[in-house]
Amino acid sequence: MSANKKIAIHTLGCKLNFAESSFLLDKFREKDYEIVSFNEDADIYIIHSCTVTATADKKTRQIINKVKNAKPTAQIALIGCMVDNLSSDNAIFNKTTWALGNKNKMLLPEIIDNENFDYISNGFDFQIAVSTLDRTRSFLKIQDGCDYFCTYCTIPYVRGRSRSAKIDEVLEQLDKLVDEGIKEVIFTGVNIGDFGKNDGENFYNLLKTIADKHYPMRFRISSIEPDLLSQEIIDLVASEEVFMPHFHIPLQHGSDRILKLMRRRYTSTDFSNLIYSIKKSISEAFIANDVIVGFPGESDNDFNEMYALLKDLPIAYLHVFPYSDRPLARSFNFDDKISPEIKKQRSTALIKLSNKKHEDFCKNFLNMTANVLWETKKEDDFISGYTENYIRVFSNFDENLINKISKVRLEKIENNRIIAKIIE
């Protein structure tokens, strides 16, 4: 179909989606499509959907309607998790030309070109994918799917069971990223701690192999389940400078009663011990956590237990999710749903706590030195980048700094920005 066709993509949701979107755009480029911004005129608009919350579904519908109203003749491809979460007769599909779930979405370029239009998948395949961010950082998809079946979650149903790349495939991608000048890679997946479980490999062995190869880049571990973050991995991150002291660990709740209802695989004590183990080994580590408020049956006491736990733990940031009913999730049929007003109150309390913890964490590093990878985005004559332990800092904009790593001193907080002075 190409013939100078213009194509645009809008991606919602997780880092995994962004990596997959980038992979799709590369395939379209190979077929001579012109890639344009989603705000520009295009022949085909791709919406890469997320369905983790009802809000994500709502945003997707709004984007489809906006495109349909503004560009009535444009074709729309809806792909990803939302497609798998809806019944086939849902009215939204009447507004799309193509609707592909996770089994088939990576074949979108071939399907549009009628090369594989009749393709029917027998299951979820694994496709390694990579996306670049401002030419400095890259998300590298190394795993997909999940075997956990937590009661609030639809991921095992819409993305399938856990599967992953092989270590050699990851190394091949890293070699390409080195050639492209990428300075930092973030490993991503649905449950990356399960990496290699079906191939006789594991996540620690991947990290150890990477450390032994001395790649000229920095690495970050994206969200990893508490029960899969072993002391062996923590010790490796602590001992190898190539791995950044930064962990994103989904707690989901601080009440053991609610954790059991969620079918999580740890207790609040297990989680607390893990956090202190990390800080003992890596005192400067930035630790972020996902938490859900308003899970069905969550009492004031359950919430207060979670709040007290998080208040005392040496963490730096909370990603707070109000519980959202998902039809495929088991909790959809649970009783004792929490009102939107209470969920909002509890979310606000945890966001306020998170802001205080993040501010305190950053203040601990004022007047200290760090290495910052500068990014391309310009904000009010400032350039910004992240320290090893994920503190975002700012300095006077200098185009020559982009994709460079500088040693800096974190000097002060000014207008909610941490200002850094470049030392070398």
For the domain that residue 414 is a member of, what is the CATH number? Answer: 2.40.50
Helix and strand element counts for the chain (H, E)? 12, 19
Residue 37, domain CATH: 3.40.50.12160
**Spatial CA neighbour of 36 closest among 59, 83, 4, 12:** 4
pTM: 0.89
- Say whether both 103 and 155 belong to one domain: no
- Say whether both 21 and 67 belong to one domain: yes
Going by their DSSP bridges, the two strands 317-322 and 369-379 should be labelled as unpaired
- Say whether both 236 and 189 belong to one domain: yes
- Say whether both 167 and 295 belong to one domain: yes
For residues 420 and 372, is the Cβ–Cβ distance under 8 A?
A: yes
The reply to whether 64 falls in a domain is: yes
Q: What is the pLDDT of residue 285?
A: 98
The reply to whether 353 falls in a domain is: no
The domain of 68 spans 6-112
- Say whether both 209 and 288 belong to one domain: yes
- Say whether both 146 and 271 belong to one domain: yes
- Say whether both 162 and 271 belong to one domain: yes
Listed in order, strand segments (DSSP E) in 209-306 are 218-221, 246-252, 286-293
Q: What is the mean pLDDT of each run of 10 residues along the chain (424 residues)?
A: 80 90 91 93 94 90 94 92 88 91 90 65 73 82 95 92 95 95 94 94 98 96 95 98 97 98 98 98 98 98 98 98 93 96 98 97 97 91 96 95 96 93 92
- Say whether both 167 and 284 belong to one domain: yes
The reply to whether 388 falls in a domain is: yes
Q: What is the pLDDT of residue 46?
A: 96
- Say whether both 272 and 184 belong to one domain: yes
- Say whether both 17 and 64 belong to one domain: yes
**Number of folded domains in the chain?**
3
The reply to whether 209 falls in a domain is: yes
The reply to whether 344 falls in a domain is: no
